[in-house]
Amino acid sequence: MTTADSQSSEQEQRREGAVGPEGWEPKIVAFVCNWCTYAGADLAGTSRLQYQPNVRIIKLPCTGRIDPVFIVRAYEGGADGVLVSGCHPGDCHYSSGNYHARRRFALFRKLMEFVGVDLDRLQFSWVSAAEGAKWVDVINDVTNRVRALGPFTEYQALSRWWKEVPDEQAIEQRA
């Protein structure tokens, strides 16, 4: 368990090395499975474990239900980092959903890396229903890594669909 004191000093350290603008906090979207990781996160909560509040949890039945398009949508919606988390191999409520997801995401992260996404922005974990403490560690680590990278400005800039128009002065100069 993290004490309040050590937490605040950690936060100060993070502020010093922060990349983003003043007051910026990373937005992390976590896609988790209903049976293991969500229960693990719940355990972290009922155990009163403290962790960074940057994560938005989206619960799905199984990691096998997490389509890569969800992750793309998360980035489009302004996420700076995405975490996908589910049951350990062998523990899947539906026997094999996480095995299929493992293959799919092994490929998807390679594809994202190939188009130039830093893989610290797309992370994966297995967190069981008994691993509340692991959930805390994972979230703190993911958040810190994304914090070190700063806001995902490359992706967010894509939302600007217009092109920069030269100002009047530049047009005059050209004329």
Stretch that binds another protein, among 3-11, 21-29, 44-52, 121-129 (CB under 8 A): 121-129
| Residues 124-163 close enough to bind another protein by CB under 8 A | 124-126, 138, 141, 154-155, 158-159, 161
Give CA separation, 154 vs 72, 78, 113, 147, in Å: 14, 11, 14, 15
What secondary structure, in 3-state letters, does the chain show?
CCCHHHHHHHHHHHHHCCCCCCCCCCCEEEEEECCCHHHHHHHHHHCCCCCCCCEEEEEECCHHHCCHHHHHHHHHCCCCEEEEEECCCCCCCCCCHHHHHHHHHHHHHHHHHHCCCCHHHEEEEECCCCCHHHHHHHHHHHHHHHHHHCCCHHHHHCCCCCCCCCCHHHHHHHC
Interface residue with another protein among 108, 135, 147, 151 (CB under 8 A) is 108
Between residues 54 and 125, which has the closer beta carbon with respect to another protein?
125
111 interacts with another protein by CB under 8 A: yes
CB of 122 to another protein, least distance (A): 9
Site string for another protein, 48-67 (x = CB under 8 A): --------------------
| Residues 18-37 close enough to bind another protein by CB under 8 A | none
CA-wise closest residue to 118 among 90, 142, 102, 138: 142
Stretch that binds another protein, among 1-9, 10-18, 71-79, 164-172 (CB under 8 A): 71-79
165 interacts with another protein by CB under 8 A: no
99 interacts with another protein by CB under 8 A: yes
**Residues of the shown chain interacting with another protein in the complex, contacts defined by CB under 8 A:** 68-69, 72-73, 76, 89-90, 96, 99-100, 102-119, 123-126, 138, 141, 154-155, 158-159, 161
